[in-house]
Amino acid sequence: MARTPSNMLPLGTEAPEFALLDTVSSNILTLDGLKGENGTVIMFICNHCPFVIHVNSEIIAIANQYKSKGISFIAISSNDVENYPQDGPDKMKVHAKTVGYPFPYLYDETQEVANAYDAACTPDFYLFNSDLKLVYRGQLDGSRPGNSIPLTGKDLRHALDCLLDGKENLEPQKPSIGCNIKWKV
């Protein structure tokens, strides 16, 4: 199991626009159409990564808690499905329904979106404010498969609370760690 850290896109970066297939609805969705009134969380995830499987329940809980506060959640999978067919759009749809994702699960076939966000691993989390400027990037919390640290989502929750309260997030922003994005050769 590879342990790849986030690249830590510079704070203040504007969220790159995209138009991607939502594997659940089969519609093409855009960042502009999905962004939240108060903020937007973009997550690079996939079906098979043990790090993502480990945090699925917490990202679902956080999305359900914060969506009523004007925060939008968007999941994107950018893995090479030729070599990792378990991450293909049909399987993404089944996975999203099985685990109950309360957010769109988008397929980045060309990997251009992952490149635009400088995404490196799954899971990789980005929080943008209402103007789509980056205010947080990195880990959900310190929990990883097998490290016995409880899964709480405290780092992302703290960033969300700071954003909603209009406060600067003074906590250190630590890279997420997970499986590397499976890039096409």
pLDDT tens, position by position, 16-38: 999 999 999 999 999 999 999 99
Question: What would the mean pLDDT of 148-155 be, rounded to a whole number?
Answer: 96
Question: What would the mean pLDDT of 78-90 be, rounded to a whole number?
Answer: 95
Q: Helix, strand or coil for residue 185? A: coil
Q: Where residue 1 falls among pLDDT bands split at 50, 70, 90? A: low
- Measured CA to CA, the distance from residue 62 to residue 3 in angstroms comes to 24
- Measured CA to CA, the distance from residue 134 to residue 144 in angstroms comes to 24
Question: What would the mean pLDDT of 67-93 be, rounded to a whole number?
Answer: 96
- Measured CA to CA, the distance from residue 113 to residue 124 in angstroms comes to 13
Checking DSSP bridges between strand 134-138 and strand 19-22, what pairing results, if any?
unpaired
User: Above 60 in pLDDT, residue 45?
Assistant: yes
Q: Where residue 68 falls among pLDDT bands split at 50, 70, 90? A: very high
Burial environment of residue 101 by CB neighbours within 10 A (0 to 12, 13 to 18, 19 or more): buried
Question: What would the mean pLDDT of 69-87 be, rounded to a whole number?
Answer: 96
Question: What would the mean pLDDT of 100-127 be, rounded to a whole number?
Answer: 97
Taking the CA atoms of residue 31, residue 92, residue 158 and residue 38 in that order, the dihedral angle to the nearest 10 degrees is: 20
Sheet holding 71-77, edge to edge: 28-30, 19-22, 105-107, 71-77, 39-44, 124-129, 134-138
